[in-house]
Amino acid sequence: MRGRILQLNISPGGMPKHAIAEGEITAQGLLGDVQRNRKYHGGPHQALLLMTQESLDEINALGFAVYPGALGENLTVTGLPRRELRAGQRLRAGQALIEITKLRQPCRHLDVYGPGIQAKVYSKRGAPGEGPWGLAGFYCRVLQPGPVFPGDIIEVIDHAV
């Protein structure tokens, strides 16, 4: 599976995140990005949040006005089918190597985009790949830091062993 990085997003804390022209993925995440509540966000297994543009398009079609960076993602990508992404997959993002650790479980802060958004973009029930699987994005850990730019290839290269 192969796609492209459309946008890199950071913020001084919270959402939305704003676009940057180039980035450096470090062990802690995208350089310059800060999580407001470190009790629930960030850390080594949630260093980055990845979302597909296709997911944002689906969420817009559900009636929620979202855009790249609005939901707090660091990497907005296109071309990766969200329903085929799984924890343990390793991806090359620019020159960095990242690993999907888990589905993102959205919190109440997404309610600024409309009531009911959490229920529409996330479900604990159902099999992987069905329904809203991955619609809210995927958390990733960083295996190998490196520079990253909009337009870079992002591709699944293997599964963790």
Alpha-carbon distance of 78 to 151, in angstroms, equals 10
pLDDT higher than threshold 80 for residue 31: yes
What pLDDT, on the 0 to 100 scale, is given for residue 40? 61
Alpha-carbon distance of 67 to 65, in angstroms, equals 7
What pLDDT, on the 0 to 100 scale, is given for residue 54? 98
Tens-place pLDDT, residues 83-140:
999 999 999 999 999 999 999 988 888 889 999 898 888 866 667 777 889 999 999 9
Q: Is 119 helix (H, G, I), strand (E, B) or coil?
A: helix
Alpha-carbon distance of 24 to 94, in angstroms, equals 10
Whole-angstrom Cα Rg for the chain: 14
Tokens standing for 56? Answer: 């944002």
| Higher pLDDT pick, 123 / 7 | 7
Domain 2-159 has CATH 2.40.33.20: yes
What pLDDT, on the 0 to 100 scale, is given for residue 121? 87
Alpha-carbon distance of 156 to 93, in angstroms, equals 9
Question: Which residue has 């080594």 as its token pair?
Answer: 44
Q: What is the pTM of this model?
A: 0.93
Alpha-carbon distance of 154 to 15, in angstroms, equals 24
Tens-place pLDDT, residues 37-61:
666 667 889 999 999 999 999 999 9
What pLDDT, on the 0 to 100 scale, is given for residue 161? 61
Which among 74, 101, 97 has a CA at the least distance from the CA of 147?
Answer: 97
What pLDDT, on the 0 to 100 scale, is given for residue 37? 64
What pLDDT, on the 0 to 100 scale, is given for residue 111? 87
Q: Specify whether the CB–CB gap between 156 and 112 falls below 8 A.
A: no
Domain limits, the chain: 2-159
